[in-house]
Amino acid sequence: MISLLAYLFVLAAGTPQSGDVPLFDFITDQRLRGWYVVTDGVMGGSSRGSVVQGKGKYAVFSGNVSGSGGFVSLWSRDAALDLSKFDGLAIRLRGDGKTYRLAMKNGRGVDVIQYMGRITPPRSGWSVLRVRFDEMVPMFRGEILKVAPRINPGQTMAVGVMIADGQEGSFELMIERISAYVE
């Protein structure tokens, strides 16, 4: 559960939209230390990615996706959040026109189901994109699962962003904040 102190600390990063509760912001380099990049290198691929502090109060997630099965993802370290009172995740970002996945995990580690929703930020300007929990698709190792446990926002262990789906080439995404929201 997000503590009041953590909420106030994150809120200082900027005013979220009504009904949004900030979970993560990237206003300092120190906050990036709670995040890590995973690429298809774990399966023998050659995609690469990184996350660094931007010139403003945001993270820059960038790299290169190689091959049709390539991917690069950015994940929070064990978050342990109870988001059961919320309807979904919102992300304030500036993109490159490519399609990404906003994701969450209900378990720890890499061999767990990931629940994902597609987002396509515009090429210029900051925007807030939302994905409802009940619209997130269960996936495991890049495959959609036809049979899977329902998403459980009350047991959110990690939140992430991924680029995949045959989008070869360079990418760059600027992320200011990830929030939970109530409609």
CB 136 within 8 A of CB 119: no
The yes-or-no verdict on residue 136 having pLDDT over 50 is yes
Give the angle subtended at the CA of 135 by the CAs of 130 and 136, to the nearest 5°.
Answer: 85
Lowest mean pLDDT among 8-12, 24-28, 146-150: 8-12
pLDDT class for 10, splitting at 50, 70, 90? very low
Query: Residue 170, Cβ neighbours under 10 Å: how many?
Result: 10
Q: Find the mean pLDDT for residues 73-91.
A: 94
Q: Map out the domains of the chain as residue ranges.
A: 4-181
142, exposed or middle or buried, with CB in 10 Å at 0-12, 13-18, 19+? middle
Secondary structure (3-state) at 15: coil
Q: Give the span between the Cα atoms of 24 and 44, in whole angstroms.
A: 31
Q: Give the 3-state DSSP-derived string for 147-159, with helices as H, strands as E and coil as C.
A: CCCCCCHHHECEE
Q: What is the pLDDT of residue 2?
A: 41
Please state which of the four CATH numbers 2.170.190.11, 2.60.120.430, 3.30.565.10, 3.40.190.10 is assigned to the domain occupying 4-181: 2.60.120.430
120, two tokens: 């396509």
d(CA 118, CA 120): 7
Q: Higher confidence at residue 29 or residue 41?
A: 41
DSSP designation for 133: G
Burial 5-34 (b: 16+ CB within 10 A, else e): eeeeebeebeebeeebbbbbbbbeeebbee
In sequence order, the β-bridge partners of residue 130 are: 90
**Which of the residue ranges 14-18, 20-24, 44-48, 99-103 has the most confident prediction, judged by mean pLDDT?**
99-103
pLDDT at 61 over 90: yes
Q: CA 10, 37, 79, 32: dihedral to nearest 10 degrees?
A: -30
**pLDDT (0 to 100) of residue 134:** 96
